[in-house]
Amino acid sequence: MALAGRDAGGPFDLETDMSFTTRPTLRGYGGAVSAGHYLATQIGAQQLAAGGNAADAACAMGFALQVLEPTQNGPAGEVPILVYHAAEDRTYAISGQGTAPAAANIETMQGLGIDRIPPDGFLAATVPAALDAWCRLLEQFGTRSLADVVSPAKALAHHGFPMYRFLQAVLQFVSRRFETEWPSSAAIYCPIREIGQRQKNPALANFLGGLIDAERAAVGGRDAGIRAARDSFYRGRTAEQIDSFLRDPIRDVTGRKHAGLLTADDLAAYSGRVEQPISVGYRGSEVWKCGPWTQGPVFLQQLRLLEGFDLSAMGRGSVDSIHTWIECAKLAYADRDANYADPDFADVPLERLLSQSYATERRQLVDPNHASLELRPGIGRLPEGWPLLSKPGAASTIEPQALAAAEGRRDTTQLVAADAFGNLICATPSGGWLPSSPVIPELGFPIGTRAQMFALDPNHPNALEPGKRPRTTLTPSLARLPDGRIMAFGTPGGDQQDQWTAQFYLDLIDHGIDDLQLAIDQPTVHSLHMPSSFYPRHAELGVVAAENRIPAETLSQLEDRGHRVQRGQAWEHGRVLAVTSRPDTGQQEAAASPRFGVAYAAVLP
């Protein structure tokens, strides 16, 4: 049997053949899927095989991931979604980010003695948006019933799925808190199962079954059934159960006890929507991202800056290429932190930020020989009190409990889908994480904590306001490649999402790697220079984290230019997933990162 690699005609020399990949790029004509857990990938492929389209497959994978990756996402979280509609040759964005409760404002936080919204407990809850987003995707772009796409997830929750190493490790990290403070979480996940043992969640299975029952009881056809299921969550018994559970105060990482601000009225008033994505061209390609209520535009700003450099001539993996990209990323992220916010509430100067003239100005700040140790937004300013700095040679200003909270954060997954009709879906589910809030006993899942991303500076665009979306890190991507392929791609990873995917994209466009899996498998770096979007908002000026497959000489040369290099493990940066669809041949491709050993891809013949 031949080793899996990049369309080689003969045997591999693993010492010298740089086209070797950990897995093959999969190719077929019946559709392609890739997801953060291999069982979710299989469920998506089954939807395509049963006649569903990319939206149907994405919804089925999304609900399955809520069961399979409860430390990464949940029904009370959020999920921005990008849609490529082939018949229209048009892209859409589904706003899957919930809003701040009506009672949430800066004055309330100040009255509670809060200067940074805590990352756990109930105080940081926004309105759960994931269910609305999946229902909206299915209703507007799918073909199947809600029962069709929810039933596989219900079966996983009811019968159980095999415990796997990544989930087990996160549960071990938080098990003591479950056992001492959150008995409803412990009732489902403690004692922690051994690898391969069944993990069930009967309450979650009942909740999912309730959605199916609500759909079947509705009158008026498929769309009416989907809306009825949605309403059972936002205006029915589920909303009441969430409201009731959040009334009893619990302790957060600061040691204080707080009840929740989120109420059933907030859920009843919520409605997501479909929006127009934003895009820029880059070297014969085009990339679409969600708006500045996500960090998505920071990917586009990086491309605008990098247009002025010949990365191809520098060479993939060279110190010049890595240094140039890092310095451009720092500038783009500084503008993210100074300007991005919900455009319904803030005047985000996106046209200026994405203009070529602005990129030309900002590009002059890139010193080819020295790393910047400054935070340099070109427009606006950072929020008051941000960030907590980790400076070279200086004692950290970050309190130990805040560092512990940051270390314990495990969040976000990813899924992508393409069907035989040329449609593509990219979604980045997150929020409602097990480590951040206790499980609601009747429902089997916790509430989300995305409000920690708001600023408590009233003069900053991302300031906390009732009904406002926090600027999230979640950032799905769609692109049209120079050869005409449409691609959906993304990764979990907080602030690193638009760094790891940027390197993947540059490998495809600038460095001549035309194979998805080979580009995904390349070693990466990321900057920790920018303020974290998560509590406690720390920044490590000049720090670059690097996978140790990057040559030691290259890393030493980065240090010579002033970067503070943290050498990590060989395969630890993200889980980039990608699918493509080729309009001229009808062929689809799929690939998934081997990192963390959970994500997988599949295609249909």
Residue 2 pLDDT greater than 50, yes or no: no
Question: What integer is the mean pLDDT of 570-575?
Answer: 94
Cβ-Cβ contacts under 8 Å for 10 (sequence gap 6 or more): none
Mean pLDDT, all residues of the chain: 94
Over the stretch 279-336, which tens digit does the pLDDT of each residue have?
999 999 999 999 999 999 999 999 999 999 999 999 999 999 999 999 999 999 999 9
What band does 390 get if pLDDT is binned at 50, 70 and 90? confident
Q: In terms of DSSP bridges, do strands 587-592 and 26-28 run parallel, antiparallel, or are they unpaired?
A: antiparallel
pLDDT at 392: 67
SS (H, E, C) 361-378: HHHCCCCCCCCCCCCCCC
Domain boundaries of the chain, sorted by first residue? 39-88+98-272+429-453, 278-409+473-603
Question: What integer is the mean pLDDT of 93-106?
Answer: 98
What band does 4 get if pLDDT is binned at 50, 70 and 90? very low
What band does 253 get if pLDDT is binned at 50, 70 and 90? confident
Question: What integer is the mean pLDDT of 175-191?
Answer: 97
Question: What integer is the mean pLDDT of 469-473?
Answer: 98
Please compute Rg for the chain using Cα positions.
23
Tokens of 218: 């509705």
Looking at residue 303, the DSSP 8-state letter turns out to be: H
Range 469-488 burial, b when 16+ CB lie within 10 A, else e: bbbbbbbbbbbbbeeebbbb
Q: Assign domain 278-409+473-603 to a CATH class.
A: alpha beta
CA 121 to chain centre: 21
Question: What integer is the mean pLDDT of 43-65?
Answer: 98
Cβ-Cβ contacts under 8 Å for 540 (sequence gap 6 or more): 390, 528, 529, 564
Over the stretch 523-564, which tens digit does the pLDDT of each residue have?
999 999 999 999 999 999 999 999 999 999 999 999 999 999
pLDDT at 20: 81
SS (H, E, C) 510-532: CCCCCCHHHHHHCCCEEECCCCC
pTM attached to this predicted model: 0.95
Over the stretch 448-461, which tens digit does the pLDDT of each residue have?
999 999 999 999 99
